[in-house]
Chains A and B, each alone.
Chain A
Amino acid sequence: MKAVFFILMLLVLMACSKDSERTSLFSGAGESAARAQVTSKNPVSLPADHASHPAYELEWWYLTFVLKDAQERPYGVQFTLFRFGTDSGFVSNWSNAQQWMGHASLHSLNDHAFESRFAAGGVGNAGVGSAPFSAWIDDWQWQSDSDAPFPATLRFRINQHTQLSLTVKDNGPYIRHGDNGVSVKSRDGKFRSYYYSQPFLTATGAITHQGTQRAVSGEAWYDHEWTSQLARREALGWDWFSVHFDNGDKLMAFQMHVDDAVPYTTGTYIKHDGTARTLTDSDLTIRPTGYETINEKPVPVNWQITSQAHDINISVSPFKSGQWNPGQFAYYEGRVTVSGTHKGSGFMELTGYQ
């Protein structure tokens, strides 16, 4: 009887296997202690740092747009070029040790178009050039006239049926987050990145979707970030918000999830005149208030962001449901509406919820 009981217990234990845990977005990209690390001794230096930093594990050039057409229909647009350092263990005569990934997404109230592109580094069909600045993967092209990313034109198509052509202009300074661009993401300072933004961007252009072309205009936000630490397996994901307030001020709020630790919160409040102040963990609270079920898992899409020091108490909610980017690296990326003490619109990125 003991044997039978043992077998039964074994079966019960085997049947009660653990649910899948939260996984890191870029943990598959590889880790290497030999990669360059983020340090405050080498702060962000512009315009040199607009270029690529292959010594670091991860890097991205991120553009998000909150646009509207002549009929005031809202659109959310994302264009991102990611770079990963790889460690294949051999020297290739075809490509270098970099890999590129492009993500492009367009949300209207009724449609979503998304496409991802991949390319090996050093071949020629993907990369970032600096004089003049350009970033491309296949026929997705971001072309500036100078060594700075803006003003620039951006042309890309998503899945044959959607085409975007945007002219982007900057009308304010670049903002270095954290300590002169060294952005600390965790309480112990282990997770950090070089991070600067250009939140003062305006965009005009046209969206052609399913054969119909619409003129659009609006605001845009540019992020350039590079690091080796965020590729660690303990980095489970983050909640990131970029907000354009109606009064011209900007807010970047960020919350990092590292293993079982309490999420670390940081941000930057940017006044309309370009002056910026870093918000620390004690200055800023980011709290989920509502969830949406995506791929049978709850994803927090409604948030409350508060900062007593700046009299901020805002609710952030998506402008539509289902703003999920599928693909090999899946995450939430969508346009949001802001209400409360401040009003405005922006973008929200939630990773690690797959």
Chain B
Amino acid sequence: MINRLRLVLITLLKLARFKPWEPVLIIIALLIATGGVSSVWLINEGARQGDIASQTPSVFANAHITAAHDDIPLTRNDYVSLRRAGFTEWIALSEDTRPLTCADDSGVGKQVDGLDIIGADTQVAQSWLVTSERYSASEATTGIVAFASPSTAARYACPGGIIRKTGHTIASVRAVNGLPDDVLVVPINAFYTGQVTPKTHPLTALLAIENIDPERQQAVKAVLPEHLQLEQASTTLSKGNLSESFRLNLWAMGVLMAVVALFIVLNAMLLMYRSRLSVAVRLRQMGVSARLLQAALLAELAVYCLISTPIGVIAGLYLTRQLTPVLQQTFSALFDSAFISPAPFLVQTISGALLITFVALSIFCVITGRQLTRATATASVRFSEWPLKWRIAISAAIVLVTGLLVWLADTTLSALVSVAAVLLGGSALIILWLPHLTRRIRDLVPPRYVLPNYVAASAITLSGKTRLAVCAFFIALSANIGMNVMTDSFRQATESWLSQRLSAPAYLYTEQSYEKVAATLPDAQAVFRGTTSMASRRVTVRSFPGSESARQSLALDAVINNDPEQAWQDFTRGKAVFVNQQFALTFNKKIADTIALDAVYPGDKSRGTPSLASQSYQIAGIYPDYGNPDTQVLLPVSRFAPAEGFSGVVALYDETAASEATLSALGETYDASKLIARSMQTFDRTFVVTDALNISTLLVAGLCFAISVSVLMMDLRPQLSVLRALGVHQWQIKLTLLAQYMVFCLLTALLAVPFGILLAWVFISRVNRYAFYWYYPMDITLSVLMQSVFISLVVVLCVLLLPVGRIKANVDLRQEAAV
């Protein structure tokens, strides 16, 4: 039995070498599917790990012991006394906010913290040490090693090290969990190097490495000397679920691509079996049982799996590695989260991919085997069309169900389900109506044009046989149009919002204190930031001026009583606030609602002395704030301008009298137009991943179409031979066939346009709304639609040229006779 199986398998493999086109197509399809899904899996894994890393509560949010007054600092002796009194849950922390620079002189950040990691025998510290050991095993780094959150570590990757002005150079930065962004943490012994000593830099705080219960708080308070004070843990920060939503979107795209790729495999297998039909019959005549033949075919597919799957997975890994820098930047900039280059676990990934692919192929092998048996039993498969009233009823049901799913979507998951419903509903409508539409086209072609008439008549039959390919193309194109319309709308909304928001001609970014900036530029409009909370959720606070020029720069979606003048008056008097869309949607608040904000602390931390006490405000306006992951409240600068909350950004209007030298002494000045251009560049980079997947999906769909055509060509050979015998030129036949398939594509594209627009609306008003808590107006641009359709048609035309070019309008009658 085994020997016979081996013989048949060798025969099939020799046949594959003799006719390599079909197996190559299967291998390519498997490559695309495994490569695409592997890269999506790896990207999502990176996002998931980054998410976990970003959401790990920061040890810096824990309770602090600080100096009660500026004149008596917290010293090393205070720390030792507390530890020797048994309060070992506290570790020393020292901060240095002087600028850090890369060895190549580029600025990288502004804060390095020294932490007594050795004294913290906690899970957090141990995980850092494990990270450190893991790195030391893989790279021979010497010198001071800093720890940072994954997104910060990605930003601080300086090949030559990071230079501190007075302390020793930091050799490398390693990503660990549980640290806030924009902070480098070094062991405290490394912090106090060079000219940095405990005298020049007293300790900033003693940091609790765990939650301190009330009993323990009382105990520590009782032993604290007068010059030290205990500060409670700050509110836990929540970064939201942005990257989770990204991952869901990416999975949806990846699955979409895999489904389309599976269409190819199915078609390629049909093609291969059909071309081998004559050999299969001869094998059967030689006594090879149907079961043995099926087993040999399965074994052959296993060989293709073994060839294509590892290469596909490795290609997916390579793609992910190439995209990693872009993804890290995107996650950091857009999602305020991290992307960690995932460990590939090559053996497990390849084994898993092999198993899944082989199981899928085995199922397909059975399906195509049955179809093959049917094909040999009957002359042709007739496509029976449903009656009109049934088609209308089914169409109505599809539209109703899809509409309901879209209408009722109120979570990220249900929004994504509604996306799938739109695509599947559209596919079902295509299957129902495509033959009908092609029949209408045939009715339009006058009978005197024989060849076009043949094309139209043949198209009706083919419309039933190309359903798989047409559906794949429809799904890919609708998704493409939807994504393009959505991206374009988002782009336009962002650009217009930025242009309006950055109303000043230039902006100064400075590291100097507010006092110095205010003394140098008394007319400048500084931005102050703060942190508060509402219903135990973190809310960011920004100051906003009430001047006329500033009013022009804040677009308000809605204002109280539809009266902007009243809204601004209430705002500048401190009676009311403006909130961003994210705030309104997260807390389910509307215009004129009253909100109770907790105390507002200056800066990014909700600790220390608050700038404003808890207070209730009325919402006077809601403003769009695209891309901001935070809920935000604007307070008038007349009420909220704490010097310690100075954000380092100053708007420079024409009336701000300052020389270039003065400005450059304070910091970096940027033209608003350059800031907008830079922001839009970041924006465009963000969509590189989805664009790549989009194009890949289209290519896969085009390939699917080409394979379908190849299969159908075989059915058409006798008819084409007759046409050739009637004197029709080879090129005319090829052109005719090309036209026939392009008609299908055009019809599909026309149907895909409304579905693509619907999809874009679902993306913006449902997926974005529930995943990100903000949305933007949909902008349908004809050129974007045309571009999507045109590119897709060009892609399909290119891939169709291959099989159509190969066609020979004659037939090997001996082969047909054998069948």
A-B complex is real? yes
| A residues whose Cβ falls under 8 Å from a Cβ of B | 1, 3-4, 7-8, 11, 14-15, 28, 88-95, 99, 116-120, 123-125, 136, 138-139, 157, 327-328
Give the shortest distance, in Å, between B456 (CB) and chain A (any CB): 47
Query: Is B197's beta carbon under 8 Å from chain A?
Result: yes
Closest B residue to A328 by CB, please name it. B126
> Is there an interface contact between B197 and A93, defined as CB atoms closer than 8 Å?
yes
Chain B, range 179-211, C-beta contacts under 8 Å to A: 188-193, 196-198
Bound Cα distance A120, B144 (Å): 16
Which stretch in B113-121, B597-605, B662-670 binds the other chain? Answer: B113-121
Bound Cα distance A28, B137 (Å): 11
Closest A residue to B116 by CB, please name it. A120
> Is there an interface contact between B190 and A90, defined as CB atoms closer than 8 Å?
yes
> Which 5 A-B pairs give the minimum distances between C-beta atoms?
A139-B86, A94-B192, A92-B189, A124-B80, A93-B192
Write the B335-377 contact mask toward A (1 if CB under 8 angstroms, else 0): 0000000000011001100000000000000000000000000
> Is there an interface contact between A125 and B80, defined as CB atoms closer than 8 Å?
yes
> Is there an interface contact between B118 and A138, defined as CB atoms closer than 8 Å?
no
Contacting residue for A92 out of B119, B126, B193, CB 8 A: B193
Residues of A within 8 A of B310 (CB): 7, 11
> Is there an interface contact between B307 and A3, defined as CB atoms closer than 8 Å?
yes
> Is there an interface contact between B121 and A118, defined as CB atoms closer than 8 Å?
yes
| B residues whose Cβ falls under 8 Å from a Cβ of A | 13, 76-77, 79-80, 83-86, 88, 114, 116, 118-121, 126, 129, 133, 142-144, 168, 188-193, 196-198, 303, 306-307, 310, 346-347, 350-351
Residues of A within 8 A of B189 (CB): 88, 92, 94-95, 120
Residues of B within 8 A of A95 (CB): 188-189
> Is there an interface contact between A117 and B347, defined as CB atoms closer than 8 Å?
no
Contacting residue for A118 out of B119, B196, B197, B198, CB 8 A: B119
| 10 further contact pairs, Cβ within 8 A, besides A327-B121, A328-B129 | A3-B307, A11-B351, A14-B346, A15-B347, A93-B196, A94-B76, A95-B188, A120-B119, A124-B77, A125-B119
Bound Cα distance A170, B142 (Å): 47
Bound Cα distance A123, B187 (Å): 14
Contacting residue for B133 out of A4, A7, A28, CB 8 A: A28
> Is there an interface contact between B88 and A117, defined as CB atoms closer than 8 Å?
yes
Residues of A within 8 A of B133 (CB): 28
Q: Report the tally of A-B residue pairs with Cβ distances under 8 A.
A: 89
> Is there an interface contact between B76 and A139, defined as CB atoms closer than 8 Å?
no
Residues of A within 8 A of B191 (CB): 94
> Is there an interface contact between B190 and A99, defined as CB atoms closer than 8 Å?
no
Give the shortest distance, in Å, between B216 (CB) and chain A (any CB): 9
Closest A residue to B89 by CB, please name it. A160
Contacting residue for B193 out of A11, A93, A99, A136, CB 8 A: A93
Bound Cα distance A119, B133 (Å): 19
Bound Cα distance A192, B79 (Å): 38
Bound Cα distance A137, B142 (Å): 29
Bound Cα distance A1, B303 (Å): 9
> Is there an interface contact between B192 and A123, defined as CB atoms closer than 8 Å?
no
> Is there an interface contact between B190 and A139, defined as CB atoms closer than 8 Å?
no
Bound Cα distance A87, B197 (Å): 20
Bound Cα distance A91, B197 (Å): 11
Give the shortest distance, in Å, between A197 (CB) and chain B (any CB): 28
19 contacts between A and B (CB under 8 A): A1-B13, A4-B307, A7-B307, A28-B133, A92-B190, A93-B193, A93-B196, A93-B197, A93-B198, A99-B118, A119-B118, A124-B76, A125-B84, A138-B88, A139-B83, A139-B84, A139-B85, A139-B86, A328-B121
Closest A residue to B310 by CB, please name it. A7
Bound Cα distance A89, B142 (Å): 8
Bound Cα distance A125, B13 (Å): 75
Residues of A within 8 A of B83 (CB): 119, 125, 138-139
Known: A119-B118, A123-B80. A11 touches B350 (CB 8 A): yes
Bound Cα distance A281, B588 (Å): 79
Give the shortest distance, in Å, between A134 (CB) and chain B (any CB): 12
Known: A93-B196, A93-B198. A139 touches B121 (CB 8 A): no
Contacting residue for B306 out of A8, A117, A118, A328, CB 8 A: A8
Give the shortest distance, in Å, between B117 (CB) and chain A (any CB): 9
> Is there an interface contact between B190 and A88, defined as CB atoms closer than 8 Å?
yes
Residues of A within 8 A of B346 (CB): 14
Residues of B within 8 A of A99 (CB): 118
Residues of B within 8 A of A28 (CB): 133
Closest B residue to A327 by CB, please name it. B121
> Is there an interface contact between B307 and A123, defined as CB atoms closer than 8 Å?
no
Contacting residue for B303 out of A4, A123, A138, A139, CB 8 A: A4
> Is there an interface contact between B193 and A91, defined as CB atoms closer than 8 Å?
yes
> Is there an interface contact between B188 and A94, defined as CB atoms closer than 8 Å?
yes
Give the shortest distance, in Å, between B641 (CB) and chain A (any CB): 38
Contacting residue for A138 out of B77, B84, B120, B347, CB 8 A: B84
Bound Cα distance A116, B118 (Å): 12
> Is there an interface contact between A138 and B198, defined as CB atoms closer than 8 Å?
no
Bound Cα distance A216, B76 (Å): 38
Closest B residue to A122 by CB, please name it. B189
Give the shortest distance, in Å, between B224 (CB) and chain A (any CB): 16
Give the shortest distance, in Å, between A229 (CB) and chain B (any CB): 22
Q: Which of A90, A139, A327 has the most B CB atoms < 10 Å from its CB?
A: A90
Closest A residue to B199 by CB, please name it. A93
Q: Which of B80, B119, B190 has the most A CB atoms < 10 Å from its CB?
A: B119
Residues of B within 8 A of A138 (CB): 83-84, 86, 88
Residues of B within 8 A of A157 (CB): 86
Closest A residue to B200 by CB, please name it. A93
Bound Cα distance A123, B82 (Å): 13
Bound Cα distance A141, B90 (Å): 19
Closest A residue to B77 by CB, please name it. A124
Residues of A within 8 A of B84 (CB): 124-125, 136, 138-139
Residues of B within 8 A of A116 (CB): 121
> Is there an interface contact between A119 and B193, defined as CB atoms closer than 8 Å?
no
Bound Cα distance A164, B727 (Å): 107
Known: A136-B84, A138-B88. A14 touches B347 (CB 8 A): yes
Known: A8-B306, A28-B133, A125-B80. A89 touches B119 (CB 8 A): no
Give the shortest distance, in Å, between A332 (CB) and chain B (any CB): 20
Closest A residue to B195 by CB, please name it. A93
Give the shortest distance, in Å, between A234 (CB) and chain B (any CB): 18
Residues of B within 8 A of A7 (CB): 306-307, 310
Bound Cα distance A136, B85 (Å): 12
Give the shortest distance, in Å, between B78 (CB) and chain A (any CB): 11
Closest B residue to A136 by CB, please name it. B84
Bound Cα distance A116, B129 (Å): 15
Residues of A within 8 A of B350 (CB): 11
Bound Cα distance A91, B193 (Å): 7
Residues of B within 8 A of A8 (CB): 306
Residues of A within 8 A of B126 (CB): 328
Give the shortest distance, in Å, between A158 (CB) and chain B (any CB): 12
Closest B residue to A86 by CB, please name it. B189
Bound Cα distance A3, B308 (Å): 12
Give the shortest distance, in Å, between A138 (CB) and chain B (any CB): 5
Bound Cα distance A123, B192 (Å): 12
Closest A residue to B125 by CB, please name it. A118
Closest A residue to B307 by CB, please name it. A4
Bound Cα distance A119, B192 (Å): 16
Give the shortest distance, in Å, between B310 (CB) and chain A (any CB): 6
Residues of B within 8 A of A118 (CB): 118-121
Bound Cα distance A340, B191 (Å): 57
Give the shortest distance, in Å, between A226 (CB) and chain B (any CB): 21
Bound Cα distance A12, B193 (Å): 51
